[in-house]
Amino acid sequence: MGVLNCTPDSFSDGHQDNLETLVSRAKKMVLHGADIVDVGGESTRPNASPVDVQEELARVIPVVQALTSAGISVSIDTMKAEVMQQAIAAGAELVNDVSALIFDQGSLEVVASTGVDVCLMHMQGNPKTMQNNPHYDDVLTEVTSFFEQRIEACVKAGVQTSSIVLDAGIGFGKNLEDNLRLIANIDVIKNAFDMPVLLGASRKSFLGLMTVSEINQRETETAVASTVGIFCGADMIRVHDCLEHHKTVVVASQLTDARNHPAISEPCHAV
């Protein structure tokens, strides 16, 4: 999943590009291996301020229309039901909601009635407050419990379980140790629900805490975190640099396949 921020204030690549530039960036992501482009018009970085629904619509709908017209698969990164509805009408195939369809009461109905796929993400607090001393007694247990509740709410609203993707919300109301534990134990979430799992660790602050690297110099750290996540069961990674991390997916996936399906071959005899 390639990240296409249509915002001036996103933590990694915030700038206000015009439509032509955004479409060009998305096409390059697909050329570099992205299977889907995640279009967002409201920053969810720590301390981000909310965006008015009309402003968010103006930022993302023309982009979604242009990308889907070009044959590019699109997900819409939003917490607002109206933005979901219009993006789906414009061709978006997946709703990626960092609030897990909690923020807007109409979101469940939109997803259920349209039948699109949905990614439910865990977040403690909201983007404005989530990194103000986050705390868990047991982050893995609490995230798993949260998913149980949200999946139940989705099913009651008419969302098919086959349409649900889970995202533990790396960096969303988590400290360094929380993020590491979640990535290293993705298999616990995967096995608990038997649903696809998305991992979004790209360039995030916890990586910089370990290596003292700037935001745009964390591709190696992202690749390592993504590789471990894939090896532990992640089905998709959400990244900024699709060319670099397409290679990450190729190698990590083959390592995972080798563990799960070891090849039977003749031993190699030294000459």
Which whole number is the average pLDDT over 162-169?
A: 98
Give me the pLDDT at residue 268, please. 42
pLDDT category, 271, cuts 50, 70, 90?
very low
Sheet with 74-77, side-by-side order of all strands: 2-5, 37-40, 74-77, 94-97, 117-121, 164-167, 197-199, 236-237
DSSP 113-130: HHT-EEEEE--SS-TTTT
User: In this predicted structure, what is the pLDDT of residue 230?
Assistant: 97
Of 62-71, 118-127, 167-176, 258-267, the poorest mean pLDDT is in 258-267
Q: Hey, what are 2's tokens?
A: 């390639």
pLDDT averaged over the chain?
Answer: 92
Per residue in 7-35, pLDDT (tens digit) is: 885 544 545 579 999 999 999 999 999 99
Give the mean pLDDT of 158-184.
97
The confidence score (pLDDT) of residue 12 equals 47
Q: Note whether 120 and 168 are within 8 A (CB).
A: no
Residue 202, pLDDT above cutoff 70? yes
User: Could you tell me which of 111, 120, 129, 105 has the C-alpha nearest to residue 49?
Assistant: 129
User: By the 8 A CB rule, do 214 and 208 touch?
Assistant: yes
Query: Any idea which residues carry the catalytic annotation?
Result: 204, 238
Q: Which two tokens stand for residue 15?
A: 């700038």
User: What is the percentage of the chain residues whose pLDDT exceeds 70?
Assistant: 94
- What is the pLDDT, as a whole number, of residue 269? 45
**pLDDT at position 128 over 80:** no
Give residue 89's pLDDT.
98
Average pLDDT over residues 186-195: 97
Q: Over the stretch 204-230, which tens digit does the pLDDT of each residue have?
A: 999 999 999 999 999 999 999 999 999
Residues 6+ apart with CB under 8 A from 138: none
With the CA atoms of 62, 63, 69 and 73 taken in that order, what torsion angle do they form, in degrees rounded to the nearest 10? -140
> CB atoms < 10 A from the CB of 213, how many?
15
pLDDT of residue 126: 82
Which tens digit of pLDDT belongs to each residue from 78-102? 999 999 999 999 999 999 999 999 9
Tell me, what's the pLDDT at 9? 55
Q: Which residue did the predictor score with more confidence, 271 or 73?
A: 73
Residue 240 contacts residue 13 (beta carbons within 8 Å):
yes
pLDDT at 263: 62
State pTM to two decimals: 0.92
Classify the phi-psi angles of 143: left when phi > 0, otherwise alpha if psi is within -120 to 50, otherwise beta.
alpha
2-260: CATH homologous superfamily?
Dihydropteroate synthase-like (3.20.20.20)
Residues whose CB falls within 8 Å of the CB of residue 71, separated by 6 or more in sequence, listed in order: none
Contacts of 24 (CB under 8 A, 6+ apart): none
